[in-house]
């Protein structure tokens, strides 16, 4: 079942086209990643999906209802969390969650606030003011806020930025559990490609305001044919470099390590050729193409 | 309109009050300082004018009544700024809360705080100078309503200006209201103003309220047309300022994007 449908959404700021005729769907229980370089139009898209920015054209439909006409009813079932927004600095964590809970129609409001506090491990910082929290603690509070109204659709902007790896892992697991238990549908933007590969069922890649790809992380990665062959060359590094240059293979040197970009099918032939040249290597690793490789290829620059 | 959503916004600012010494001083400290300064000044004027108590009552009640306008407008402007400074607008407007619920919360907060500041200052004025505002009898009620209405449209105009022009005019929240004091005839009659200023005063609803208050003080009655004029002027300005504020909100926040701007 489609819970969110975006159709031909466009937005211009003056002459700059921020979002250009974007269309996509989000299914119930699906986790959809929106990727793209800075300025690609991700945040603008999210703002339009939340109704805090008016599109120039196009339609947004949640649960089969037009967002413009059923804003309040829809936003009761949608929420948003971002690392880059704040809750009132002077209030404590509990005060913030309490006041935000009153913005929604929640039957068991008090219980819900308590359970969210427990879920996001906020007990120890409950009575601390927001301005006294670390960046990671603020991110956890923002996430807790995002779940307060039992959302059916959740939009997350860089949800694990500034979290330590343990907490970030916990959050990723939590998202997957929520999806499994309550069929929550999630849209997630992140610059952490490994996270997107781990969590997202599908990825939309936006560049210059347009959707340039819409597929699973695996399929997107597979569309990149280049693998990275890494060797620790004990004897014959110069001959290896020369051979790469003759074969016109991109390569990078780091001490006695050499990384060569090759198609997956070329690797056995390449290794055989090195053996014939009498090159002696003691370590070998092969990195298959990842979402990050896809990102770099599309964006055309290093992250 | 959902009451719990209006309550949410009001709760957010009530909770914030206990952490803000500045907001507490706005509510209680400055009214007391004003009362001391103006109370003693008017007592001196009373002495040199041959013991005319009405001078003192006029000045003190003018000060107390102006508190109502001040609090009502200040809460609207400052609360908007509070959310901008905290970058909290996005959290509020991704919830089902609508624009009118948001503004209603500010209006209610202004009402409550105006009542608290006014009551507190009135009690202090009574203890210090034996002046009480109930000297105006039942007329007191329409005066308060009209002054609140003035505070609201000033507040809405301030919000509209901050939204359109941006944070560089955030000082409007504590300065713009003062612009109409000279024309409101709070402490002196309109007739004392130069002709050009009198023309402006005739467009300011509070000038009619304070003129009516002075009439009661001196003759025990007043011209009801003054109250009607003040009411309709207030009504007109409330409608215009609401339209301006809503248009500013739609244009700036929804068309340009509140995350980028605030």
What percent of chain A clears pLDDT 70, i.e. is strictly above it? Answer: 99
For the residues B239-260, what does the mean pLDDT come to?
81
> What six digits make up the tokens of B103?
């503004």
- Assign B258 a pLDDT band (cuts: 50, 70, 90): low
Q: How many Å lie between the alpha carbon of A203 and the closest alpha carbon of chain B?
A: 24
Q: How many Å lie between the alpha carbon of A196 and the closest alpha carbon of chain B?
A: 24
Task: Tell whether B15 is covered by a domain.
Answer: no
Q: What pLDDT does residue B199 have?
A: 96
Q: What pLDDT does residue B81 have?
A: 83
Q: What pLDDT does residue A190 have?
A: 84
Query: Span A224-299: which CATH code?
Result: 3.30.70.340
Which pTM does this prediction carry? 0.82
Q: What pLDDT does residue A171 have?
A: 83
Residue from A38, A94, A99 to probe the interface with B (highest B Cβ count within 10 Å): A99
Judging contacts by C-beta atoms under 8 Å, the chain A residues touching residue B97 are 103
Provide the mean pLDDT of chain A: 89
Q: What pLDDT does residue A225 have?
A: 75
Task: Tell whether B5 is covered by a domain.
Answer: no
Q: What pLDDT does residue A302 have?
A: 42
A147-156, B88-97, B189-198: segment of lowest average pLDDT:
B88-97
Q: Which among B94, B201, B205, B51 has a CA at the least distance from the CA of B143?
A: B205
Q: Which tens digit of pLDDT belongs to each residue from B41-64?
A: 888 888 887 777 788 888 888 999
Does residue B104 surpass a pLDDT of 50?
Answer: yes
Does residue B242 surpass a pLDDT of 90?
Answer: yes
A89-93, A285-289, B108-112, B207-211: segment of lowest average pLDDT:
A285-289
Provide the mean pLDDT of chain B: 87
- Assign B262 a pLDDT band (cuts: 50, 70, 90): very low
Q: Cβ of B8 and A99 within 8 Å?
A: yes
Q: Which tens digit of pLDDT belongs to each residue from A23-78?
A: 999 999 999 999 888 888 888 999 999 998 899 999 999 999 999 999 999 999 99
Q: Which among A272, A274, A285 has a CA at the least distance from the CA of A231?
A: A285
Task: Give the closest of B4, B88, B96 to A87, CB-based.
Answer: B88
Task: Tell whether B9 is covered by a domain.
Answer: no
Task: Tell whether B8 is covered by a domain.
Answer: no
Q: Which CATH class is domain A2-221?
A: alpha beta
Q: Which tens digit of pLDDT belongs to each residue from B203-212?
A: 999 999 999 9
Q: How many Å lie between the alpha carbon of B168 and the closest alpha carbon of chain A?
A: 21
Q: What pLDDT does residue B50 have?
A: 76
Q: How many Å lie between the alpha carbon of A163 and the closest alpha carbon of chain B?
A: 21
Question: Domain count of chain B?
Answer: 1
Task: Tell whether B246 is covered by a domain.
Answer: yes
Task: Give the closest of A13, A44, A104 to B96, CB-based.
Answer: A104
Does residue B259 surpass a pLDDT of 70?
Answer: no
For the residues A92-99, what does the mean pLDDT come to?
95
Q: What pLDDT does residue A303 have?
A: 39
Task: Tell whether B18 is covered by a domain.
Answer: no
* Residue B8 contacts A where some CB pair is shorter than 8 Å: yes
Q: Which among B223, B196, B216, B63 has a CA at the least distance from the CA of B135?
A: B216
Residue B136 Cα to chain centre, angstroms: 20
Residues 65-94 of chain B with CB under 8 A from chain A are 82-83, 86-88, 90-94
Does residue B164 surpass a pLDDT of 90?
Answer: no
Domain residue limits at B59 = 24-261
Chain A residues with a Cβ under 8 Å from any Cβ in chain B: 13, 43-44, 47, 50-54, 71-73, 75-76, 78-80, 82, 84-91, 95, 98-105, 129, 145, 149
CA dist., res. A212 & res. A209, Å (int): 9
Q: Which tens digit of pLDDT belongs to each residue from A269-282?
A: 999 999 999 999 99
CA dist., res. A184 & res. A30, Å (int): 7
What is the value of ipTM here, to two decimals? 0.83
Q: What pLDDT does residue B261 have?
A: 40
A195-199, B20-24, B127-131, B145-149: segment of lowest average pLDDT:
B20-24
Query: Exposed, middle or buried, B193 (CB in 10 Å: 0-12/13-18/19+)?
Result: middle
Buried b (16+ CB within 10 A) or exposed e, A131-161: eebeebbbbbbbbbbbbbbbbbbbbbbbbbb
């Amino acid at each position: 079942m489609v819970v969110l449908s975006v159709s031909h959404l466009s937005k211009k700021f003056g002459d700059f086209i921020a979002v250009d005729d974007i269309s996509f769907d989000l299914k119930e229980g699906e986790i959809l990643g929106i990727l793209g370089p800075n300025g690609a139009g991700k945040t603008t898209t999210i703002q339009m999906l939340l109704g805090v920015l008016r599109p120039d054209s196009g339609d947004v439909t949640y649960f089969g209802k037009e967002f413009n006409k059923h804003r309040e009813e829809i936003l009761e079932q949608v929420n948003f969390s971002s690392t880059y927004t704040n809750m009132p600095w002077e209030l404590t964590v509990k005060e913030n969650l309490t006041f935000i809970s009153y913005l929604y129609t929640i039957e068991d409001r008090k219980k819900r606030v308590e359970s969210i506090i427990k879920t996001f491990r906020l007990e120890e910082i409950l009575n601390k003011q927001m301005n006294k929290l670390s960046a990671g603690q603020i991110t956890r509070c923002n996430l807790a806020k995002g779940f307060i109204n039992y959302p059916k659709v959740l939009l997350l902007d860089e949800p694990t930025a500034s979290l330590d790896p343990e907490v970030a892992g916990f959050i990723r697991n939590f998202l997957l559990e929520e999806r499994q238990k309550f069929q929550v549908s999630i849209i997630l933007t992140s610059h952490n490609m490994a996270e997107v590969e781990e969590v997202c069922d599908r990825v939309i890649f936006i560049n210059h305001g347009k959707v340039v790809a819409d597929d699973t992380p695996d399929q997107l990665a597979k569309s990149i044919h280049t693998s990275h062959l890494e060797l620790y060359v004990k004897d014959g590094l110069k001959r290896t470099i020369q051979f790469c240059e003759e074969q016109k293979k991109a390569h990078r040197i780091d001490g006695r390590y050499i990384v060569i970009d090759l198609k997956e099918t070329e690797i056995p032939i390449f290794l055989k050729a090195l053996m014939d040249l009498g090159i002696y290597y003691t370590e070998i690793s092969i990195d298959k193409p990842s979402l990050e490789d896809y990102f770099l290829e599309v964006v055309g620059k290093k992250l | 309109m959902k009451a719990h959503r209006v309550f949410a916004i009001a709760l957010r600012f009530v909770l914030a009050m206990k952490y803000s010494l500045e907001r507490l001083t706005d509510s209680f400290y400055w009214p007391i300082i004003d009362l001391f300064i103006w109370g003693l000044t008017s007592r001196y004027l009373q002495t040199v004018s041959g013991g005319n108590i009405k001078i003192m009552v006029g000045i003190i009640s003018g000060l107390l009544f102006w508190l109502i306008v001040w609090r009502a407008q200040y809460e609207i402007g400052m609360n908007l700024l509070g959310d901008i400074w905290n970058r909290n607008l996005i959290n509020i407007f991704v919830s089902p809360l609508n624009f009118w619920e948001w503004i209603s919360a500010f209006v209610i907060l202004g009402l409550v705080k105006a009542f608290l500041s006014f009551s507190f200052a009135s009690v202090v004025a009574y203890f210090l100078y034996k002046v009480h505002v109930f000297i105006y009898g039942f007329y007191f009620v329409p005066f308060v309503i009209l002054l609140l209405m003035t505070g609201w449209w000033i507040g809405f105009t301030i919000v509209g200006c901050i939204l359109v022009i941006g944070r560089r005019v955030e000082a409007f929240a504590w300065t713009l209201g003062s612009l109409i004091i000279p024309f409101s005839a709070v402490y002196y009659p309109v007739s004392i103003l130069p002709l050009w200023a009198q023309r402006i005063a005739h467009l300011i609803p509070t000038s009619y309220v304070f003129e009516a208050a002075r009439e009661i003080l001196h003759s025990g009655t007043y011209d009801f047309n003054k109250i009607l004029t003040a009411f309709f002027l207030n009504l007109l300005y409330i409608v215009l300022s609401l339209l301006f504020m809503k248009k500013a909100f739609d244009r700036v926040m929804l068309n340009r994007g509140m995350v980028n701007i605030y």
